[in-house]
Chains A and B, each alone.
Chain A
Amino acid sequence: MTTKGVTEEMDSKENEKPMLILKDIHKFYGSNEVLKGVSLEVRRGELVTFVGPSGCGKTTLLRLIGGFTDISSGDIILDGQRINDLPPNLRDTRICFQNYALFPHMTVAENVGYGLKINKWPKDKIAARVRELLEMVELEAFGDRMIDKLSGGQQQRVAFARALSLEPKVLLLDEPLSNLDANLRLVMREEIRKLQERLHITTVFVTHDQFEAMAISDRLVVMKDGLIEQVGTPIEIYERPANEFIAAFVGYVNFMDGRVESIDPATKNTVIRTEFGKLEIALEQDDIQTGDDVLMVIRPESVSLSIDCGSNRQNVLCGTLKTYMYAGSIAKCTVGIGAKKMIVDQYNPRDAQQFQNADRVEVEIPRSVHLLKKKI
């Protein structure tokens, strides 16, 4: 039943077995195919985030794992057991709905203790466990409050405590932070992450917010139209996106067309011909050959900006500064290069004064640039 404590004693083999396996899951609503073959393994204690634009099927996927909706085909395996046909009340998963779904006719403590009561825990044990959970989410003083007398953040914590009360094998969180205001969202996501790591609880997190997803997850699963586009750590997804969609989805990006002219086999020094001349980068991937048409993924913060044109350094392009928006810790600039525009983020912009009046500027493309191979 419980995973906490047991986990530590488990031998390493047992530990490597994934907690949750999704095998080629399809879901139809009528003739509308909402999930088009989703496969994934979630490791024990891992926090995996499904991220994707609204309507891509994230909530549906969580509801399938939780058992609220039948899958059309595929398998769900929880801790080695196929659970396709188990109703939610017999599955060892716990879902936290986007709107928290706290019971409005119960107090905070009754909400948190609901699952314990349903599972016939003795009264004194319930009380002790509820106290422990409320302490964990720092609401020990609020046990007797009614739900509607709590702030949004407090309600979020109650929902979280309630979901953890029975120590589920997998915790399912559906956009848990979307009802909070921006500052609270940052605080809460840190708290959730801390607790999740401390309790070592396997978690599937769903959000449409790519920054939240990157900040909180061990691994990200980027979804689009019912399909998984890429699975990877936040760094992998951000720095080595599999395609244009992902590159653009996880942050702002400048794309630049080019053709690989040469790759030095020893140093991996690579020359790319673009419409603005030759650029030299250090190739970090093996799927690119000489002669490939590629798309360079240039992040705004990796480009550096300097005043004056005409230095003949490598990887430097000359352009006109179209906009320069100073915002303290960052300045967001648009530079026109030829007929194209490039977005440049300047962090810690010390010489902002200079740029505000500048016209011609130089941008320096970094040597580490991710390349997307164009499909022919």
Chain B
Amino acid sequence: MAAAELSVKLQSSSGSKVKDFLNANLINILAAFLFLLLAFFLLYPIIMVLIKSFQGPSGFTLQYYQAFFSKNYYYQSLYNTLLLGVINTVVCLVIGFCLAYMTTRGPWILRKPLKIISLVPLIAPPYLFALSLIILFGRNGLVTRMFDLHWELYGFSGVVISQTLAFIPLAYMMIESTLMSLNPNLEESAYDMGASEATILRTITIPLLAPGLLKAALLIFVMTIAEFGNAAILGGRTPFLAPDTYTMITGESDFNMGSVLSVVLIAPCILIFFIHNYLLEGKKFTTIGGKPVASEPRKITPLIKVPFVIITTVAAGAIFVCFAVVFVASFYKILGVTHDIVLSNYLDFTSNQAIYNSIRVSFVAAIIGAVIGVLLAYVIVRGKFFGRTFIEMVSLSGFALPGTVLGIGYLLAFSAPPLKLTGGIMILALNCVFRFLAVGVEAGISKLHQIHIEIEEASADLGASFLTTFHKIVLPIMFPAFIAGFIYTFMTAIVSLSAVVFLVSPGFDLAAVKIFDAAVYGEIGIASATTMKLVLIVMICMMILNYISSKTRLGSSMKKTVAV
């Protein structure tokens, strides 16, 4: 095509000086500009949190850290948070493994339905599960009243359950992709040599999966300890770091203590981010030959099958029930208390206003995010400057950062000059842009790896300027990545809660915040209806995204990152 024509003329041209100049400089200028953006909107707020945690009325002080480490309450909060992370990670891994094992090794008829149910929570905001648990087991809950059951939902166990359900898809997707990449002939060879199912699992499957499992574990741990909504809604009197930070800021306006809590929360995240990046680098088992193939179903022995089927059925059933319950609850003022089917929850003005605001904010975030994502991907892949990997690391780090930390950071950084943004729509949008940048960047990178640098060089050799090349050749090819980045940012931003909850101004509610408030104040009907609206929006986004990736072969790497 164009590439071939261009390369034919390659030898006859002599514009390499122009090309060198442009490649050497314009791309660097672009990189510098992007780096400034990253520094200002991602690093600066975090540094502000760090500074605030050490900054007393009279300069540098350790008094807030002393306060943290001398109060039993904070210990308890830290302990609960870490314990929650550990329990959640283990439970999610076990369930995710069972699900993935069944959908990749189990009988054909089960594979598709199980896979769909495992992935369904992706279309829901994580706090949907907190909401549905309230509807079922809350003080006026269906189960509570029907069976006169008095299980104390508000507390540690409630949070663990809702978090587990929310993070099943992430665990499932990561484990499934590693299981899929495992050559089925390996397990079959062990089987052939006399190993039983359990022995195959112990000696072959799990050891080979270990790097992938560790990776999934680290990520789930980071995301669960940082998750705000479920812990805030269901935590009750049990302290957790993320919601504590929120009350510290909104309730007591104590930014110093809020910052200390943030630093304590972010420390394990950063630690794990580095472990993740460096320890696991290249830690992958490679085998020769053979394309990845779907394993044929094995006759799974009852010893394995029974527990696996129980676990998967319970998990899938729970996910299904949660969705159904919220759906039904959206048609009652308070399900189980009032008995008239109403549409008023859907027509509620403040809820619709909040949805409208959310769409606006997410739309702005998505446009900016997709543009920056594509440009960043370009300089990361094509640039040759010093610090390229650093830029890549920073731009991918957003999603490993707890939302609460970035929320406080934005409050600290942008509520006073040089850039005062608080109170507007921009602070919300920018916050979402830089938190969720990773996927736009990844989509761009995977797409760019499909374009040969020769095409660009040939174009430059023909005398085209850097900008023309970028405009005529790079942009069209990157367009699918741009769209994917746009939609992903949009749907992630629209459900995200943990950071924006700090940043919304009175009178300008976002849907996620509205749901949070409604759930906390017991307006179950409104909370459910607003959640269903979000679910619908996200579902539409997913469908568009699926359509695009099937049309443009955006690659499975994209799908993987979307999961994150």
Interface residues of A (CB under 8 A from B): 63, 66-69, 87-91, 93-95, 97-105, 114-115, 118-119, 148, 152, 155, 162, 165-166, 179
**Which residue on B lies nearest to A120, using beta carbons?**
B194
Known contacts being A97-B185, A98-B289, is A114 close to B190, with CB within 8 Å?
A: yes
* 15 additional A-B residue pairs with CB within 8 Å, beyond A89-B193, A95-B192: A63-B296, A68-B192, A68-B296, A69-B296, A87-B299, A88-B191, A90-B194, A99-B288, A101-B189, A103-B186, A103-B204, A104-B287, A114-B193, A118-B194, A119-B193
Q: Which of B203, B285, B299 contacts A104 (CB 8 A)?
A: B285
CA distance A227 to B340 in the complex (A): 68
**Which residue on B lies nearest to A147, using beta carbons?**
B287
- Of residues 194 through 214 on chain B, the ones whose CB sits less than 8 Å from some CB of chain A are 194-196, 199, 203-204, 207-208
Q: Kindly provide the distance from the CB of B111 to the nearest chain A CB, expressed in whole angstroms.
A: 14
Known contacts being A103-B204, A104-B208, is A88 close to B192, with CB within 8 Å?
A: yes
Asked whether, in the complex, the Cβ of A97 is within 8 Å of the Cβ of B189, the reply is yes
Asked whether, in the complex, the Cβ of B185 is within 8 Å of the Cβ of A99, the reply is yes
Q: Which of A98, A101, A102, A115 contacts B194 (CB 8 A)?
A: A115
Whether B290 sits at the interface, judged by CB under 8 Å, is yes
Whether B188 sits at the interface, judged by CB under 8 Å, is yes
Asked whether, in the complex, the Cβ of A119 is within 8 Å of the Cβ of B194, the reply is yes
Q: Kindly provide the distance from the CB of B195 to the nearest chain A CB, expressed in whole angstroms.
A: 5
CA distance A119 to B193 in the complex (A): 8
Q: Which of A63, A98, A118 contacts B290 (CB 8 A)?
A: A98
Asked whether, in the complex, the Cβ of A101 is within 8 Å of the Cβ of B199, the reply is no
Whether B183 sits at the interface, judged by CB under 8 Å, is yes
- Chain A hits for B299, CB < 8 A: 87
Q: Which of B183, B193, B285, B290 contacts A115 (CB 8 A)?
A: B193
Q: Kindly provide the distance from the CB of B302 to the nearest chain A CB, expressed in whole angstroms.
A: 13
- Chain B hits for A100, CB < 8 A: 287-289
CA distance A210 to B331 in the complex (A): 70
Asked whether, in the complex, the Cβ of B289 is within 8 Å of the Cβ of A89, the reply is no
CA distance A95 to B191 in the complex (A): 10
What does the 1/0 interface line of B49-79 toward A look like (CB < 8 Å)?
0000000000000000000000000000000
Asked whether, in the complex, the Cβ of B191 is within 8 Å of the Cβ of A101, the reply is no
Asked whether, in the complex, the Cβ of B287 is within 8 Å of the Cβ of A101, the reply is yes
- Chain B hits for A118, CB < 8 A: 190, 193-195, 199
Asked whether, in the complex, the Cβ of A95 is within 8 Å of the Cβ of B288, the reply is no
CA distance A369 to B195 in the complex (A): 53
- Chain B hits for A63, CB < 8 A: 296
Interface residues of B (CB under 8 A from A): 183, 185-186, 188-196, 199, 203-204, 207-208, 285-290, 296, 299
CA distance A148 to B289 in the complex (A): 12
**Which residue on B lies nearest to A95, using beta carbons?**
B192
Listed from nearest, the 4 A-B pairs whose CB atoms lie closest are A115-B193, A99-B290, A101-B185, A99-B289
Which of A89, A91, A119 has its CB near the most chain B CB atoms (within 10 A)? A89
- Chain B hits for A115, CB < 8 A: 193-194
Asked whether, in the complex, the Cβ of B208 is within 8 Å of the Cβ of A89, the reply is no
Q: Kindly provide the distance from the CB of A361 to the nearest chain B CB, expressed in whole angstroms.
A: 44
A-B contact pairs, 7 of them (CB 8 A): A89-B196, A101-B287, A104-B286, A114-B190, A114-B193, A114-B203, A115-B193
CA distance A66 to B296 in the complex (A): 13
Q: Which of A66, A69, A105 contacts B192 (CB 8 A)?
A: A66
CA distance A183 to B287 in the complex (A): 22
Which of A115, A162, A179 has its CB near the most chain B CB atoms (within 10 A)? A115
- Chain B hits for A97, CB < 8 A: 185, 188-189, 290
CA distance A98 to B196 in the complex (A): 23
Q: Kindly provide the distance from the CB of A101 to the nearest chain B CB, expressed in whole angstroms.
A: 4
CA distance A101 to B290 in the complex (A): 9
Asked whether, in the complex, the Cβ of B193 is within 8 Å of the Cβ of A102, the reply is no
- Chain A hits for B288, CB < 8 A: 99-100, 152, 155, 179
Which of A66, A98, A114, A119 has its CB near the most chain B CB atoms (within 10 A)? A114
Asked whether, in the complex, the Cβ of A89 is within 8 Å of the Cβ of B183, the reply is no
Asked whether, in the complex, the Cβ of B204 is within 8 Å of the Cβ of A89, the reply is no
- Chain A hits for B203, CB < 8 A: 114
CA distance A67 to B298 in the complex (A): 10
Known contacts being A66-B192, A88-B188, is A102 close to B289, with CB within 8 Å?
A: no
CA distance A209 to B203 in the complex (A): 35
CA distance A114 to B285 in the complex (A): 18
Q: Kindly provide the distance from the CB of B495 to the nearest chain A CB, expressed in whole angstroms.
A: 40
Q: Which of B195, B204, B289 contacts A179 (CB 8 A)?
A: B289
- Chain B hits for A95, CB < 8 A: 188-189, 192
Asked whether, in the complex, the Cβ of A68 is within 8 Å of the Cβ of B195, the reply is no
CA distance A94 to B296 in the complex (A): 18
- Chain B hits for A179, CB < 8 A: 288-289
- Chain B hits for A148, CB < 8 A: 285-286
Asked whether, in the complex, the Cβ of A87 is within 8 Å of the Cβ of B204, the reply is no
Asked whether, in the complex, the Cβ of A89 is within 8 Å of the Cβ of B192, the reply is yes
CA distance A115 to B287 in the complex (A): 20
Asked whether, in the complex, the Cβ of B286 is within 8 Å of the Cβ of A166, the reply is no
Which of B185, B189, B196, B289 has its CB near the most chain A CB atoms (within 10 A)? B189
Asked whether, in the complex, the Cβ of B185 is within 8 Å of the Cβ of A87, the reply is no
